């Protein structure tokens, strides 16, 4: 299996499955590019993992995973990072035999919306049939652990990243400022800062759950105080790298930056973000482009939205194919599931954004050190959170 790493200078490599073999099964991440001398509290990483932990309410999977992280490498005897790769592991603790037996009972059937068919094509009979293996949403726990390290480093630079549910089951939150979103962050189970909309979302999703079905939605991720000048103008646009990271999350079916697809119905004069000067710094009156120009950050908030598909595991009977006999059958899975993924996917999206931004920050600082640009340009590229004198 290829493609288990993301990033270039700051880089994560993950491994592990939804169930795995034996009591020691779990998911792990190796994080390259961690600076030496950092005191990264285990509790900081654990807090990020708790955001996506299942079994916390009726809107997520009843699987009772504690998702406790252990740091097994990269920390010295003095309790600080050594500059070596950081190793993190999260053990599976709720892999009950009854659920393994359920997966085994239909291991040869193609579950609609899942990756069984394509796994058969790539790995044949050896494909992991238990809990979808690496295609499971549980794979993302290792991303969140690695992303927590990136978020910790970014916070030193004054950069904040927040994700939240903007829409679920067809119900949309009202437009809100970053400050209001931050104030109401994680105030409800679906993490929608519009409390009224959150209640309607929950009510509708529970009705859909009672039908044996699931709901999709939209998650918005905002990166605040990102300095201008991150990203490259051709293949390595930061917007492209972020899109790569977000699109690699299994449930993501669409991505848009700023006004996104709405720009198709706008005039150029309407979509263009007009610059102005504020205390000697270049700012923009609007943010239709979502904080990017030419794929390079312009100093405004990065605003990205992802379309999150409904959880593919449903109790509604669906057509299937038995890959062992090559016959058509009917399938009605009974395994555990999230009635919506929105309330648990936002920390995964935050993690991938954080890794992409930190990696771009590393690259930009390396380039700037060698480019030796005039100081006037360097001042304009500094983070809005750290204004230059």
> Based on the number of CB atoms within 10 Å of its own CB, is 16 exposed (0-12), middle (13-18) or buried (19 or more)?
buried
Determine the pLDDT at residue 295.
96
Task: Please list the rounded mean pLDDT of every run of 10 residues in the chain (389 residues).
Answer: 96 91 85 97 96 84 87 95 97 84 86 91 88 88 98 97 98 96 96 98 96 96 97 97 97 97 96 94 95 96 98 91 94 80 96 98 91 79 55
> Based on the number of CB atoms within 10 Å of its own CB, is 269 exposed (0-12), middle (13-18) or buried (19 or more)?
exposed
Determine the pLDDT at residue 214.
95
Domains and CATH numbers, the chain: 5-381 (3.60.150.10)
Q: Report DSSP state, residue 231.
A: S
Which residue is listed with tokens 């593919």?
Answer: 312
Query: 288 in helix, strand or coil?
Result: coil
Strand stretches in the chain, DSSP E: 5-6, 11-16, 26-32, 69-73, 86-91, 160-168, 171-172, 217-224, 252-257, 275-278, 281-284, 292-293, 296-297, 302-308, 318-322, 327-331
Determine the pLDDT at residue 198.
97
224: number of Cβ within 10 Å: 21
Closest CA to 90 of 174, 9, 16: 16
**What is the radius of gyration, based on Cα positions, of the chain?**
22
Closest CA to 157 of 354, 349, 303, 298: 354
Determine the pLDDT at residue 385.
52
Determine the pLDDT at residue 285.
96
Determine the pLDDT at residue 333.
67
Determine the pLDDT at residue 22.
66
Helix 140-156 / helix 42-52 crossing angle, nearest 10 deg: 130
Question: CA-CA distance, 140 to 26, in Å (whole number)?
Answer: 12
């Amino acid at each position: 299996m290829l493609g288990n790493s993301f990033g270039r200078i700051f880089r994560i490599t993950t491994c592990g499955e939804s169930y795995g073999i034996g009591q020691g099964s779990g998911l792990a991440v190796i994080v390259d590019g961690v600076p030496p001398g950092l005191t990264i509290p285990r509790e900081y990483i654990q807090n990020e993992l708790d955001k996506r932990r299942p079994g916390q309410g009726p809107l997520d999977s009843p699987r009772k995973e504690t998702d406790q992280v252990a740091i097994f490498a990269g920390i010295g005897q003095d309790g600080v990072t050594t500059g070596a790769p950081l190793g993190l592991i999260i053990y599976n603790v709720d892999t009950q035999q009854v659920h393994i037996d359920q997966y085994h009972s239909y291991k040869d059937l193609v579950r609609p919306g899942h990756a069984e068919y394509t796994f058969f094509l790539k790995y044949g009979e050896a494909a992991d049939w238990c809990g979808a293996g690496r295609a499971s949403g549980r794979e993302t726990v290792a991303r969140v652990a690695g992303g927590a390290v990136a978020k910790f480093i970014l916070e030193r630079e004054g950069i904040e990243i927040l994700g939240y549910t903007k829409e679920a089951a067809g119900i949309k939150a009202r437009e809100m400022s970053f400050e209001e979103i931050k104030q109401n962050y994680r105030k409800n189970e679906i993490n929608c800062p519009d409390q009224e909309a959150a209640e309607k979302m929950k009510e509708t999703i529970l009705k859909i759950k009672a039908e044996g079905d699931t709901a999709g939605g939209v998650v918005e991720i905002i990166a605040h105080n990102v300095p201008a000048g991150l990203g490259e103008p051709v293949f390595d646009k930061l917007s492209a790298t972020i899109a790569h990271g977000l699109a690699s999350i299994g449930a993501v079916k669409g991505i848009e930056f700023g006004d996104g697809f709405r720009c198709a119905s706008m005039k150029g004069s309407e979509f263009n973000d007009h610059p102005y000067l504020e205390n000697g710094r270049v700012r923009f009156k609007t943010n239709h482009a979502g904080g990017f120009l030419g794929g390079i950050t312009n100093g405004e908030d990065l605003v990205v939205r992802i379309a999150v598909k409904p959880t593919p595991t449903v109790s509604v009977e669906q057509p299937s194919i038995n890959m062992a006999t090559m016959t058509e059958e009917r399938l009605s899975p009974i395994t555990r599931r999230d009635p919506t993924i929105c309330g648990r996917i936002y920390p995964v999206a935050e993690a991938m954004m954080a890794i992409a931004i930190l990696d771009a920050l590393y690259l930009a600082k390396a380039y700037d050190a060698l480019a030796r640009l005039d100081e006037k340009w360097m001042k304009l590229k500094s983070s809005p959170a750290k204004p230059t004198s």
